[in-house]
Amino acid sequence: MKHIIILGDGMADWPAESLGNKTLLQYSSTPYMDKLAAMGRTGRLITVAPGFHPGSEVANMSVMGYNLPKVYEGRGPLEAASIGVELQPGDMAMRCNIICIEGDNIKNHSAGHITTEEADVLIQYLEEKLGTDRIHFYTGVQYRHLLVIKGGNKQLDCTPPHDVPLKPFRPLMVKAGVPEAQETAELINALILKSQELLAEHPI
């Protein structure tokens, strides 16, 4: 039997006083969603397991039935699979976003909705300037890309840019979750700062 699962990813919101203390979804007219709900089955599901952050990749994998404590490795491996990059043992894959910085603040998390074609030029430029036998950049879609570090320690504390719009970026740099990850954290932070210098000079 085949099933269609429709995920309202990002629909959750806080009630707004201007909308009569309703959320945007509660306030909206949703005839098609109402019809789909009437034709199918509805219910409630906790999609974020204890100890996991409430991100899209966590919730979506949970809905699909994956045992997160056993298989979850972050967005990086999913990004690699989606663009056909085959990871090797010891590779650490990380989602690598192109964002906009204004002054020291995160202006937006999507580089002004950069196109994939423009982003490809920038990612190839970073690969040329910063790529090594250990470090590789791969083009994904729009602002979402992939960084692979051979021998990296994944026990890091990272902050998704979309969670902190207009915030200063320096206090949010990568931190080591354990002492053994300090070298990896310092490497990634150096790449962040160097890429900022390089991209500021690029015509795109």
The pLDDT assigned to 86 comes to 94
The pLDDT assigned to 7 comes to 80
**Tokens 């036998």 identify what position?**
133
Range of the domain at 164: 76-201
6 domain residue, yes or no:
no
Tell me the residue type at 98: I
156 domain residue, yes or no:
yes
84 domain residue, yes or no:
yes
41 domain residue, yes or no:
no
59 domain residue, yes or no:
no
The pLDDT assigned to 138 comes to 98
The pLDDT assigned to 82 comes to 92
- Residue 201, token pair as written in the block: 């000079």
User: Block means of pLDDT (10 residues each) for the chain, length 204 residues?
Assistant: 80 90 93 91 83 84 87 89 93 95 91 95 97 97 96 89 88 93 96 94 88
Q: How many domains does the chain have?
A: 1
Rounded to 5 degrees, φ, ψ at 18 are: -70, -15
29 domain residue, yes or no:
no
Give me the DSSP letters along 10-69: T-----BGGGTSB-HHHHS--HHHHHHHHHS-------S-TTS---HHHHHHHHTT--HH
148 domain residue, yes or no:
yes
- Residue 79, token pair as written in the block: 């990004």
53 domain residue, yes or no:
no
pTM of the model: 0.80
For residue 85, the 8-state DSSP code is P
